[in-house]
Amino acid sequence: MINILFCGYRDWSFSIIDEIKRHPKVNCIDVIKSKEEYDKKILIINENIDFILFLGWSWIIPKEVNEKYLCLGIHPSDLPMYRGGSPLQHQIIDGVINSKITLMTLSNKKLDAGEIWMKEELNLNGDNMASVFENIINSSIKLLNNFIDEFPLIKPISQKVEEGSYYKRRRPEQSKIKMEDFQNKSIEELYNFIRALTDPYPNAYIEDEYGNKLLFKEVKYIPYSDL
């Protein structure tokens, strides 16, 4: 059996955890569902743990935890491309459709630069982020089941971070669509921008001279060929 401690706090991460727990080789030590629970439990767990799996986790793993346990995490990009914050939004806005889910070692040394264990195809199509999250769930389940099948014989490989790219986390004010964007961007580019910023992220918006905002909560792109 493989002893795994799961950490997550987003709904889509719990969907993945619930499925992976069913794998016949998995012994679930615990499922930590919040930062507060994590802070209380992480350093007092005395179980024999093969690794901690972090899913959708937004906080840096303390050095003492990294030194004590093998810490693994899912990153929704084809690492070393799109390391850093908001990888989904940056890829979708850039027009990326065919990406990957990467299982990596979480390291304190450099963000998203840990060793890579395995990858799985990830499709970024969908009119909203809810659709993209469904794709993430399905790809992550397939990836993790394959990984558990091969663990502990599988070995990681180092990233070539000098060949990749790094992005900062997007800020809410970056969701603004400027009037000139309607002239300079294609319909498909505007569609990608809006759908990448549907809930739960700060929605795309336009703003008038008085500060009034019009938010784009949903979007649909219909190519001319489909009319």
pLDDT in tens, 113-155: 899 999 999 999 999 999 999 999 999 999 999 999 999 999 9
Q: What is the pLDDT of residue 60?
A: 84
Share of the chain above pLDDT 70, in %: 99
Where exactly does CATH 3.40.50.170 map onto the chain?
Answer: 2-167
pLDDT in tens, 3-59: 999 999 999 999 999 999 999 999 999 999 999 999 998 877 877 999 999 998 888
Summarize pLDDT for 176-186 with one digit per residue, the tens: 999 999 999 99
Q: Pick the closest to residue 21 from 145, 139, 136, 121 (CA basis).
A: 145
Ranges assigned E (strand) in the chain:
2-8, 26-32, 51-55, 71-75, 83-84, 98-105, 116-123, 166-167, 205-207, 213-215
Structural contact between residues 101 and 74, judged by C-beta atoms closer than 8 angstroms: yes
What local confidence, expressed as pLDDT, does residue 191 receive? 98
Q: Check if the beta carbon of residue 204 is closer than 8 Å to that of residue 194.
A: yes
Q: How far apart are CA 197 and CA 171, in angstroms?
A: 11
Question: Residue 197 is encoded by which pair of tokens?
Answer: 């910023």
pLDDT at 223: 86
Q: Please give the model's pTM, rounded to 2 decimal places.
A: 0.92
List, for residues 53-83, the tens digit of each pLDDT value: 999 888 888 888 888 899 999 999 999 999 9
Helix axes of 11-20 and 129-150: crossing angle, nearest 10 degrees: 30
Residue 227 — pLDDT band, cuts 50, 70, 90?
Answer: low
Per-residue model confidence (pLDDT) at position 202: 96
What is the spatial distance between Cα 96 and Cα 111, in angstroms, rounded to a whole number?
A: 22
Q: What is d(CA 220, CA 150) in angstroms, rounded to the nearest whole number? A: 41
Please give the pLDDT value at position 19.
97
Element (H, E) at 67: helix 63-68
Q: Report the 10 Å Cβ neighbour count for 195.
A: 25
Q: What is the DSSP string of 129-181?
A: HHHHHHHHHHHHHHHHHHHHHHTTT---B---GGGS-EEPPPPGGGGBPPTTH
| Residue 106: how many other CB atoms lie within 10 Å | 23
CATH of region 2-167, choose from 3.40.50.170, 3.30.2270.10, 3.40.50.720, 3.40.640.10? 3.40.50.170
- What is the reported pLDDT for 226? 67
Q: What is the pLDDT of residue 161?
A: 82
